[in-house]
């Protein structure tokens, strides 16, 4: 491929063809590897981190988040003004906004999204819009009023879909969530062009994105490619077939760090993995032993979280005792006293079960219920889309065997597992969360309203519900933090979740292809798959000037790269970026 590029370049220059003509045919392509597939690209219905990344790029939001500290900054709205009582915010949209298909993006789109997602109870928007009402003042002005005090305002970061596309489709909740979301019309820096499940999502630059400020986008296409084998993904980055990867095995970190052209990022943004225990609040029931708090406490004491951090994460993950509800870990996670913590202690776990009457009466190594019937054998679900789920399942089997509890492993992909959880037909599973900036959505998942939806523990608690409603309207920041801490302490003491660790987003990118990667939050966060994913609109090819510095359509960066190939025969990146998806396959 390098030889062919050199030959073509010599031929072009020899024939007197202008460099601009050659550059206009070249594409700049950013290639991202990941291991999590996409089930849907509908922002009202999806739930996977891989899906949120596509939406972050495809859809702009009314307000955006600062890359360094998540503070609200302008998005589609250039400014906003609160009312005296703080219940109403009036947002002014930027002038001349358009959807990627050229249709005007107006206040009518904003109001329709807020009011329709509230009325139809769209899963991914409801916790934000449930108390909101939006009113159009004029094409560039929308008034949003909350019926109760709302500590999240003025943040309005729901994904705004194009009304002119979605209104005929979204006639009710069912029709909305069944839509595939592949219309390709968005307002972000790049919009969906192709989607092949199990393979890739291709996005193309949106010429109408307000953030380009009328200049030429520095990247033409972004290709997200999913890998079933994470080691193959790592190799593709090392070989220059990818520009960045997300979610690689911790054991590969040292090898990647040794490459002078690769930067490794262990980003933290509140994400965590957990072993969840079925609390039995929906139709499908867990093993009856799990309805006993003492059994759940014994299971919690039997799980060796420190070993997982050291052996599976090579020490890169952080300790965690209760759920992490927001991206700012230090702010929202309470300190659990040492005497209340579920520190690894299998002897104590065995004693708890003995004292509660769960004995192995027939000597087969598995305890029975106190009446001597129904051996305690747990159905543990393994998420086949997660590279750690299999090893954790095997470890969980051993931990439970040590306290006289049997385990049967059952494997599901993430979509099937979500269905199993909703139906309640499981005992335990291992999965994870990456929370939003504000804790409200994560906290809402464990309320009664989210049963048979995002409440994957199938658990509720009356006091937790009361506190949830309190924090939702509490405007005093410290008081709200205190309420959240009390909620998470209740959640911890219920032993319904076993938070395993604060998991870093392990990412790596090549430093010789693109520059401008931004960590969110600053210094500690990841560069991709974050709350608003700012890197994509800021990236540019290495050595180039800012987007739009040349208005004549000439891509001098690519020309310079090809000239370098002629001179030194070394720059592979430009030729690689020109290759098509078919070439790569």
Task: For the chain, give the longest Cα–Cα distance.
Answer: 92
Q: Say if residue 282 is in the same domain as residue 431.
A: yes
| Same-domain status, 396 and 489 | yes
Report the alpha-carbon distance of residue 218 to residue 537 in Å, rounded: 9
Look at residue 579 in the predicted model and tell me its pLDDT. 31
6 domain-assigned: yes
Please give the mean pLDDT across all residues of the chain. 89
Question: Which domain covers residue 243, as residue numbers?
Answer: 2-31+189-268+509-584
Strand-pairing partners, residue 433, are 272
Residue 287: which of 206, 378, 421, 362 has the closest Cα? 378
Beta strands in 453-571 (DSSP E): 497-502, 505-510, 514-515, 540-541
Pair 264, 277 in one domain: no
Residue where one domain finishes, among candidates 485, 502, 519: 502
pLDDT at position 563 = 33
Taking a C-beta distance cutoff of 8 angstroms, is the pair 115, 145 a contact? Answer: no
Per-residue pLDDT at 38: 95
In a domain, residue 44? The reply is no
Within-domain flag for 38: no
313 and 439 belong to one structural domain? yes
Q: What is the pLDDT of residue 386?
A: 82
407 domain-assigned: yes
The partner residues of 138 in beta bridges, in order of sequence, read 141
104-155 tens-digit pLDDT:
999 999 999 999 999 999 999 998 999 999 999 999 999 999 999 999 999 9
Q: What is the CATH number of the domain that holds 497?
A: 3.10.105.10
**46 within some domain:** no
Number of Cβ within a 10 Å radius of residue 254: 10
Number of domains in the chain: 3
- Whether residue 545 has pLDDT greater than 70: no
Domain finish residue from 461, 481, 502: 502
Nearest one of 92, 98, 97, 201 to 144, comparing CA atoms: 92
State the Cα–Cα distance between residues 481 and 475, nearest whole angstrom.
Answer: 10
DSSP string spanning 188-228?
Answer: SSEEEEEEETTTEEEEEE-TT-GGGTTSPPS-SEEEEEE-S
- Band of the pLDDT at 520, cuts 50, 70, 90? very high
What's the pLDDT tens digit per position in 460-503? 999 999 999 999 999 999 999 999 999 999 999 999 999 999 99
The HSE-up count of residue 109 (CA atoms within 13 Å, CB side) is 27
Distance of alpha carbon 510 from alpha carbon 260, whole angstroms: 9
**Do residues 471 and 495 share a domain?**
yes
Among candidate residues 126, 150, 180, the one where a domain is terminated: 180
For residue 383, list its beta bridge partners: 412
Indicate whether 549 belongs to any domain. Answer: yes
Q: What is the DSSP letter of 365?
A: S
Are 27 and 124 contained in the same domain?
Answer: no
Residue with tokens 């597939």: 37
Res. 558: pLDDT tops 60: no
Q: Are residues 393 and 526 in the same domain?
A: no
Rounded Cα distance between 17 and 98, Å, is 36
Residues 362 and 312 in one domain: yes
Element at 309 (helix H, strand E): helix 305-311
Residue 40: inside a domain, yes or no?
Answer: no
Q: With a cut of 50, say whether residue 84 has pLDDT above it.
A: yes
* Whether residue 303 is found in the same domain as residue 263: no
How far is the C-alpha of 4 from the C-alpha of 524, rounded, in Å?
A: 42
Same domain, 458 and 542: no
- Tell which residue, 531, 523, 529, 533, has the closest CA to residue 506: 529
CA–CA separation, 187 vs 105, rounded Å? 8
Residue 52 lies in a domain: no
Instruction: Note whether 262 and 404 are same-domain residues.
Output: no
Tens of pLDDT along 86-116?
999 999 999 999 999 999 999 999 999 999 9
CA distance 449 to 441: 12
**Whether the Cβ atoms of residue 555 and residue 540 lie closer than 8 Å to each other:** no
Q: Are residues 540 and 572 in the same domain?
A: yes
pLDDT for residue 21 is more than 50: no
Question: Whose CA is closest to 331, among 437, 254, 423?
Answer: 437
Give the C-alpha distances (Å, rounded to integers) separating 539 from 13, 141, 217, 576.
30, 31, 10, 18
CA-CA-CA-CA torsion sign (437, 441, 444, 450): negative
497: which 2 tokens? 């979740």
Interatomic CA distance for residues 250 and 29, integer angstroms: 27
Here the CATH number for the domain that contains residue 535 is: 3.40.190.10
């Amino acid at each position: 491929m390098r030889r062919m590029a050199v030959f073509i370049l010599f031929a072009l220059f020899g024939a007197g063809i202008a460099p601009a003509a050659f550059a206009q045919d070249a594409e700049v392509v950013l290639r991202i590897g990941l291991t999590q597939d996409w089930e849907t690209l509908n922002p009202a219905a999806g739930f996977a981190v891989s899906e949120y990344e596509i939406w972050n790029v495809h859809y702009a939001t009314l307000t955006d988040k600062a890359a360094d500290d998540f503070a609200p900054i302008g998005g589609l709205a250039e400014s906003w003004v609160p009312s005296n009582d703080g219940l109403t915010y009036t947002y002014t949209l930027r002038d001349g906004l358009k959807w990627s298909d050229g249709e005007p993006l107006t206040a009518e789109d904003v109001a329709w999204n807020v009011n329709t997602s509230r009325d139809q109870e769209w899963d991914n928007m409801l916790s934000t819009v449930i108390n909101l009402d939006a009113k159009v003042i004029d094409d560039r002005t929308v008034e949003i009023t909350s019926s109760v005090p709302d500590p999240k305002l003025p943040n309005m970061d729901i994904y705004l879909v194009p009304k002119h596309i979605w209104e005929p489709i979204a006639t009710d909740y069912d029709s909305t969530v069944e839509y595939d979301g592949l219309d390709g019309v968005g307002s972000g820096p790049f919009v969906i062009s192709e989607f092949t499940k199990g393979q890739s999502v291709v996005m193309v630059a949106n010429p109408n994105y307000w953030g380009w400020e009328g200049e030429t986008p520095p990247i033409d296409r972004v290709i997200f490619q999913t890998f079933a084998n994470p080691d193959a993904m790592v190799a593709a980055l090392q070989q220059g077939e990818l520009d960045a990867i997300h979610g690689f095995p911790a054991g590969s970190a040292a090898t990647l760090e040794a490459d002078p052209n690769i930067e490794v990022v262990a980003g933290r943004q509140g994400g965590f993995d957990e072993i969840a225990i079925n609390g039995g609040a929906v139709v499908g029931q867990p093993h009856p032993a799990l309805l006993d708090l003492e059994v759940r406490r014994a299971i919690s004491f039997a799980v060796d979280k420190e070993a997982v951090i050291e052996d599976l994460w090579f020490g890169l993950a952080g300790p965690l005792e209760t759920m992490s509800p927001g991206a700012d870990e230090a702010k929202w996670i309470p300190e659990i006293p040492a005497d209340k913590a579920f520190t690894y202690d299998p002897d104590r776990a065995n004693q708890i079960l003995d004292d509660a009457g769960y004995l192995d009466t027939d000597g087969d190594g598995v305890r029975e219920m106190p009446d001597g019937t129904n051996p305690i054998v747990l159905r543990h679900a393994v998420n086949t889309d997660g590279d750690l789920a299999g090893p954790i399942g095997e470890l969980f089997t051993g931990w439970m065997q040590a306290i006289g509890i049997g385990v049967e492993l059952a494997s599901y992909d993430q979509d099937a597992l979500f269905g199993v959880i909703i139906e309640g037909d499981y005992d335990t599973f291992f999965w994870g969360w990456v929370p939003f900036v504000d804790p409200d959505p994560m906290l809402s998942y464990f309320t009664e309203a989210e049963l048979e939806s995002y409440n994957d523990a199938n658990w509720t608690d009356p006091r937790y519900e009361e506190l949830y409603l309190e924090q939702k309207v509490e405007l005093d920041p410290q008081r709200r933090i205190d309420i959240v801490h009390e909620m998470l302490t209740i959640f911890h003491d219920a032993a319904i979740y076993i938070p395993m660790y604060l998991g870093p987003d392990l990412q790596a990118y090549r430093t010789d292809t693109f520059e401008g990667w931004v960590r969110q939050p600053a210094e500690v966060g990841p560069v991709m798959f974050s709350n608003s994913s700012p890197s994509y609109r800021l990236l540019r090819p290495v050595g180039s000037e800012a987007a739009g510095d040349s208005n004549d359509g000439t891509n001098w960066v690519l020309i310079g790269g090809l000239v370098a190939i002629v001179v030194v025969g070394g720059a592979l990146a430009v030729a690689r970026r020109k290759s098509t998806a078919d070439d790569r396959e």
